[in-house]
Structure 1
Amino acid sequence: MGIVQSQSIKNTIITFFGFGIGAVNALFFYTNFLEKEYYGIVMTVLSGANILMPLMAFGAQNTLIRFFSHYKTQKEKEEFLTFMLVLPLALIIPIGLLFYFFYDPISASWIEENPTLKPYFWLIPFVGLFMAYFEVFYAWVKVHMKSVIGNFISEVLVRLIVMGLLFSVHFNWIEKSTCVYGIALAYFAQFVAMKIYAISVKRPVLRFVIPENLKDIVQYSFFIIVSGGVAVMLVDFDKVMIAQYLNVGENALYGVAIFISTVIAVPSRAMTQIVAPITAKLIAENKHDELNDLYKKSAINLQVIGGFIMILIFLNIKQMYLLIPKDYSGGIWVVFMIGLSKFYDVLLGNNNSIIVNTKHYRTVLLFGVFTVFLMIVLNMIFIPIYGIEGSAFATLITVMIYNTIKLFYVINKMNLYPFTMKTIYSFGILIGCFLLFYFWDFSFHPIINIGLKSIMISVFYLLITYKLQISEEVNKVVSSFLIKIRVIK
């Protein structure tokens, strides 16, 4: 896993750095500099845009990765890349016209519950467009095995711009309403930066030719629209539904809890940037054993790293909430439920990359449609009764069912299995950590409390994981660190 390990480590560092900036924004600057209502508006706009993104991209970001390695000559690759730039317009244009002519009926149910959302609702399709073409150009560099700079643009650039906007609000340089528009423009800046970098990696040679395998490309793209929509809806549709049933300010509470729990998925996001094209290549070359090995390694590595992050969050969550305004203190149970759903995603390694790059993707499409229907129904049932906790519970149930279906489908149809006995050992370490550290805290300031407790948890967790040799890759990184500090030779 040379290139995987190298770029995954770099991507993980960058992603954690970006999440560090995002954590400061989400937990301190948003909560202190913006009113809860404006924070909720931002969350609603970005969630709506994320839902539209798979449609507007027409699945081109995954289709590009799936089929690029199938083309052998430079001319064929150039023709394919050109076609991928044009393909999203097939849905962007009709979606844009739909919003233009039917804006009032589309926005009515949200604006009726939250009138303050009205001046900003129109931003949703524009931000969705910026996100869509960002993903297309990001895929452009991924197929050339260049994911690190793109990851920096994705994870760091937008958050730095948002931080600057929030500081501008704090010092009264701009109004809160202007900040909302500025955050939308941050995604435009992200798209432009990604486009410039993609062109520098491989300058496009425009060859407007319809590919011979057009039917396969379009069918696969439609699948990605639905499957990508499913994945996005599992992350963002709950926020959109919360704004339909509750005050938009509740999305601010939910957003803080979601951000905390989403950190669990950071290693998965980082590794996926480079594992996805390698998975596609192994499948195209029919290298089953190498694919199975990659599947197992990605699963156990992400379980160890994601589990470590999850346990740190769960064991410090009460102290974390003492650091933010009391108005945002109602989301601890949301953190637990969404955190468990993110951990289940992490457990499956590169499962999604395997599914979307095989002939079995059409069947999984049906599972995705069922999952979306189930999620909507569960949110409609639980949000009016339990509020944001009800939405988190609906998401947890939906993710567990959907991931279980995908897991068994890959096992049965492809004879690929992600788990080993080390998976069970890792679960044992996590459970032991939770039982040992959850029920007590130091009687110090929350920051000191979190720091001391995290050190103790880290030593316990990493020492046992290292001694039991749960992950070969993690052990190499730990050994390298221990050698540098001269603990071992």
Structure 2
Amino acid sequence: MGIVLKQSFRNTLIIYLAFMLGGINVIVLYPSILQSDFYGLVTFLLSASNIITPLAALGVQFTIIKFFSSYQTKKEKDQFLSSVILLPLLIALPLGFFWDYAHTWIMSTINENNKSIENYTLSIYIIAVCCAYFELFYSWTKVQMNTVFGNLMKELWNRLAIMLLLVFVYFNIISKEEYIFWLTVTYVLRVIIMMIYAFYVYLPKFYFKVPYNFLEIIKYSLFIILAGSASAIILDIDKVMIPGKETFQTAAYYTVAVFIGSFIEAPSRAMAQILQPLTSKSLNEADTYEVENLYKKSSINLFLVGGLFFLLINCSVQELFKLMPEKGYAGGELVVLMISLAKLYVMLMGSNGAIIVNSKFYRITLPLGIGSALAVYYLNKLFYFQLEFGTNGLALATLITWFIFNTIKIIFVQQKFKMHPFSKETWQLMGVLIVLFLTFYFWNFSFPIIEVYNFDISPAFNLVAKAILVTIAYLFITIKLGISSQVNDLLKKYIKL
């Protein structure tokens, strides 16, 4: 776990820095500069592109990780990379050719009040293709055990670019409409930079000859097309469906709540960057002991770190909403709770997804991916459109879908590999989380009203004070219980208990 913890630590710092910048963008800049209507429009564009991205990528980002370490010679590896770099074009080119039909279909699903999207749908296609090729080149560096730069580009680049563009809008350097054009440009620049870096890390000799197992590669790519993207697709389906019933404003409110609830997943995203190639390598070498070791350690470590942020977010979310400039964003506490619960369960699974995707049982990912997408779609229809649960219904549909299909994945790995991620520390930590959540969720400090420029900032003091108290209590209990030896060894260098 040495290389895992080292690169995961760096990636976690990058991702949390990115989340903080994203938080400023989502909670402060977007609502005050673009306002909720136009922000909801941008959300729709990005969510729609996220749904298309895995289809455009054709699963190549997973194919690279799966097969690269199985080749023995540089020539074989170069033939492999020379072939897969062209695979996304099999989807991207026909999709671009028929985009007029896609545009017509998109507009047919939109509520009459949201027709302003009509001039911007081409950005959906461009961003999707750029993201597909970005993931390809990111995997190109992952198999060289080089994840930090790609993670920097994936997590920080867009958020910094968005912040800069929003500042330009604020000072009237560009208009709101031009903002979408320049946002699309940033995605194009990002994939170009990532391509240059990938070739710097490993520049193959390009061959026009396909590898000996090319048919197996194609078959794997087709089956794996939704793997690893299912969770993102589930959330983006929610955001894409909202404008079919309500205004873009509602999509903006829901997006903010989802962002806050998703904050806890940063360690999972960071660790996954290095866990994927390591798990693939161990499976290719039939080292089941190391696979199980990675599985259990990643599970408890992610659950431990994610648990802390789950408490910090949910025990302070009411105060956070009070600080937002537009009061329409308040009332999303249940959305935050349900999304963060779903994310925490995913973190508890550790390297489960990497095991399935990189094993001979990868075919199961296709029915699971399709099943989860259909499940959340029809549950959204039920809870949001028919039962009128509002955006709470969308979050509930997401939570139910994630719980069912991720439980299936845990059972599947248990049956096929005779291993699971749980230990006695898992149940101890679960008990700690329940007790601390019930202790701090319904209780707040009683600070007097403190106004600055007619704005009450007392919720900020409440938020910070509760966060300090929750963190101290959580770290003290988990260190004393010895939940994770790796985390204990790291913390005891700085904390004496």
What aligned pairs does 1:333-482 form with structure 2 within 5 A after superposition?
333-384=334-385, 385-444=388-447, 445-482=458-495
Deviation at 1:405, TM superposition (A): 0.7
Q: Please give the alpha-carbon distance, in whole angstroms, between the structure 1 residues aligned to 2:402 and 2:54.
A: 19
Residue 328 of structure 1 aligns to which amino acid in structure 2? Y
- Give a deviation string over 1:397-441, Cα, whole Å, max 9, x none: 111111111110111111111000000010111111112212211
Q: Please give the alpha-carbon distance, in whole angstroms, between the structure 2 residues aligned to 1:102 and 1:128.
A: 13
Deviation at 1:180, TM superposition (A): 2.1
What aligned pairs does 1:177-192 form with structure 2 within 5 A after superposition?
177-192=177-192
Deviation at 1:449, TM superposition (A): 1.1
Q: Please give the alpha-carbon distance, in whole angstroms, between the structure 1 residues aligned to 2:102 and 2:24.
A: 38
Deviation at 1:231, TM superposition (A): 3.3
Structure 1 SS opposite 2:186: helix
Q: Please give the alpha-carbon distance, in whole angstroms, between the structure 1 residues aligned to 2:147 and 2:227.
A: 23
- Give a deviation string over 1:449-484, Cα, whole Å, max 9, x none: 1111111110100011011110111112201223xx
Residue 204 of structure 1 aligns to which amino acid in structure 2? P
What aligned pairs does 1:49-60 form with structure 2 within 5 A after superposition?
49-60=49-60
**2:243 equivalent in structure 1:** 243
CA distance 1:441–1:429, shift in 2 (3 Å):
same
RMSD between aligned residues: 1.4
- Give a deviation string over 1:305-345, Cα, whole Å, max 9, x none: 00110110010011010111212113221111111111111
Residue 463 of structure 2 aligns to which amino acid in structure 1? I
| 1:38–1:180 CA contact under 8 A, matched in 2 | no
**2:311 equivalent in structure 1:** 311
Q: Please give the alpha-carbon distance, in whole angstroms, between the structure 2 residues aligned to 1:28 and 1:363.
A: 42
Does the alignment pair 1:97 with 2:97? yes
Structure 2 SS opposite 1:455: helix
Q: Please give the alpha-carbon distance, in whole angstroms, between the structure 2 residues aligned to 1:337 and 1:108.
A: 31
Q: Please give the alpha-carbon distance, in whole angstroms, between the structure 2 residues aligned to 1:266 and 1:369.
A: 25
Structure 2 SS opposite 1:77: helix
Q: Please give the alpha-carbon distance, in whole angstroms, between the structure 1 residues aligned to 2:393 and 2:271.
A: 31
Q: Please give the alpha-carbon distance, in whole angstroms, between the structure 1 residues aligned to 2:173 and 2:225.
A: 40
Does the alignment pair 1:328 with 2:329? yes
Higher mean displacement: 6-15 or 193-202: 193-202
Q: Please give the alpha-carbon distance, in whole angstroms, between the structure 2 residues aligned to 1:103 and 1:438.
A: 45
- Give a deviation string over 1:144-186, Cα, whole Å, max 9, x none: 0000111111111111110001111112221111112222222
Residue 310 of structure 2 aligns to which amino acid in structure 1? M
Structure 2 SS opposite 1:165: helix
Residue 377 of structure 1 aligns to which amino acid in structure 2? Y
**2:454 equivalent in structure 1:** none
| 2:78–2:204 CA contact under 8 A, matched in 1 | yes
Residue 445 of structure 2 aligns to which amino acid in structure 1? F
Q: Please give the alpha-carbon distance, in whole angstroms, between the structure 2 residues aligned to 1:113 and 1:340.
A: 33
| 1:141–1:150 CA contact under 8 A, matched in 2 | yes
What aligned pairs does 1:44-83 form with structure 2 within 5 A after superposition?
44-83=44-83
Q: Please give the alpha-carbon distance, in whole angstroms, between the structure 2 residues aligned to 1:261 and 1:283.
A: 33
Moved over 6 A (4+): none
CA distance 1:48–1:178, shift in 2 (3 Å):
same
Residue 435 of structure 1 aligns to which amino acid in structure 2? L
**1:232 equivalent in structure 2:** 232
Q: What is the count of residue pairs matched by the alignment?
A: 484
| 2:107–2:115 CA contact under 8 A, matched in 1 | no
Q: Please give the alpha-carbon distance, in whole angstroms, between the structure 2 residues aligned to 1:214 and 1:39.
A: 44
CA distance 1:215–1:231, shift in 2 (3 Å):
farther
Residue 93 of structure 2 aligns to which amino acid in structure 1? I
Q: Please give the alpha-carbon distance, in whole angstroms, between the structure 2 residues aligned to 1:388 and 1:62.
A: 33
Residue 245 of structure 1 aligns to which amino acid in structure 2? K
Give me the TM-score of the superposition, normalised by structure 2: 0.95
Residue 415 of structure 2 aligns to which amino acid in structure 1? N
**1:30 equivalent in structure 2:** 30
| 1:257–1:331 CA contact under 8 A, matched in 2 | yes
Residue 168 of structure 2 aligns to which amino acid in structure 1? S
Residue 400 of structure 2 aligns to which amino acid in structure 1? I
| 2:14–2:152 CA contact under 8 A, matched in 1 | yes
| 2:267–2:302 CA contact under 8 A, matched in 1 | yes
CA distance 1:97–1:113, shift in 2 (3 Å):
farther
Residue 340 of structure 1 aligns to which amino acid in structure 2? L
Q: Please give the alpha-carbon distance, in whole angstroms, between the structure 1 residues aligned to 2:106 and 2:213.
A: 36
| 2:319–2:463 CA contact under 8 A, matched in 1 | yes
Does the alignment pair 1:21 with 2:45? no
Structure 2 SS opposite 1:358: coil
Q: Please give the alpha-carbon distance, in whole angstroms, between the structure 1 residues aligned to 2:139 and 2:371.
A: 28
Structure 2 SS opposite 1:440: coil
- Give a deviation string over 1:38-72, Cα, whole Å, max 9, x none: 11011111111111111111111000000000111
Q: Please give the alpha-carbon distance, in whole angstroms, between the structure 1 residues aligned to 2:472 and 2:230.
A: 38
CA distance 1:420–1:102, shift in 2 (3 Å):
closer
Structure 2 SS opposite 1:68: helix
Contiguous gaps of at least 5 residues in structure 1: none
Deviation at 1:108, TM superposition (A): 2.1
Q: Please give the alpha-carbon distance, in whole angstroms, between the structure 2 residues aligned to 1:162 and 1:410.
A: 40
**2:164 equivalent in structure 1:** 164
**2:115 equivalent in structure 1:** 115
- Give a deviation string over 1:230-273, Cα, whole Å, max 9, x none: 33322311111112222121110011001101111110000000
Contiguous gaps of at least 5 residues in structure 2: 448-457
